[in-house]
Amino acid sequence: MTLFRRLLKYGVKHRLKLQNKSGATRPVSKSNTVTAGTSTRIEASAELGFDYTLKRSPRRRSLALSIRAGAVYLNAPMQLKDKDIECWLWEKREWVQVKLQQQNQRQQEVPERTYASGDTLCYLGKVYPLQVFLASGSGAAGANVVGSGIKGSGVEFSNERGFVVILGRSSKSRSQKGVAQRVQSLLQAWFKARAAELLRLKSESLCRYLGLSLCDVRLRRTKTKWGHCTSNGVIQYNWLILVAPDVVIDYLVAHEVCHLRHHHHGPAFWALVERVCPDFKIHKTWLRRYGHTLVV
């Protein structure tokens, strides 16, 4: 019998006597009752050690716990009382704290960008310098100044100079923060354009080699997936993959293109992936380990 069912069966008396390892009865923190479909931030007791966001549903029959971006989320049935939820979380507290610590460490690994001259960007696995230039008379701060005849804004790239962002006189960004936001926007647009071109080229090339039909290649910035192949032959990629080494990009393309033939992750699928990308296990592990650091 699951803990959830035991709690419902034995009632409040049983719920309030769950004890910690030292044998002391655990105090239950107060939390507000919430209505169906709404999310409420719960400040947990000091003994629990973390806050969490609670969402109730009348259709749910069990508790579901998830941790995303360093925050704890709990989906619960409508009929389960707040005290029951706290008791359930009490048994999960050590697992939650470990996961929160792991996510905090991963967050610290994400590069911080200033989007100003002297910053760096990673493209196809290599690090390049960033230079930002402003047209004279723009009145903006945080970058070098070039001739006043420049009106448009854009991004230039070369292996020798790296990324050069030019903000023309038409730019409305004047503060240092505004300049940084504008530079980031231009860089992201540049990466999207390169991703659309490169990923389509790689996908079509591999499809010709394998004799597969590709309907379209699209870009999406998703939080949990680097790629997706639909049943009608459309492959979607997260454009941030262009920050990764080229061999990792090739693995991702191989993974999604192979789904055009095998819409599953069975042995036949992985055999085909290995045929076109022999070192796929190395690149798959790299993406899982460092994927969260791929930012622009």
**pLDDT tens digit string along 41-55?**
777 666 777 888 898
User: What's the predicted TM-score (pTM) here?
Assistant: 0.70
Domain boundary residue, one of 55, 83, 108: 108
**Does one domain contain both 23 and 51?**
yes
- Provide the domain limits for residue 187: 120-293
pLDDT at 85: 86
For 264-280, the pLDDT digits (tens) are 999 999 999 999 999 99
227: domain CATH number? Answer: 3.30.2010.10
Contact of 67 with 103, CB cutoff 8 Å: yes
The domain total for the chain is 2
Cα separation, 28 vs 44, whole angstroms: 9
Whether residues 238 and 170 fall in one domain: yes
Q: Is the pLDDT of residue 199 over 90?
A: yes
C-alpha distances (whole Å) from 168 to each of 12, 92, 121, 136, 181 are: 68, 55, 21, 9, 15
In a domain, 141, yes or no: yes
Most confidently modeled of 3-12, 151-160, 206-215?
Answer: 206-215
Mean pLDDT of all residues in 165-173: 74
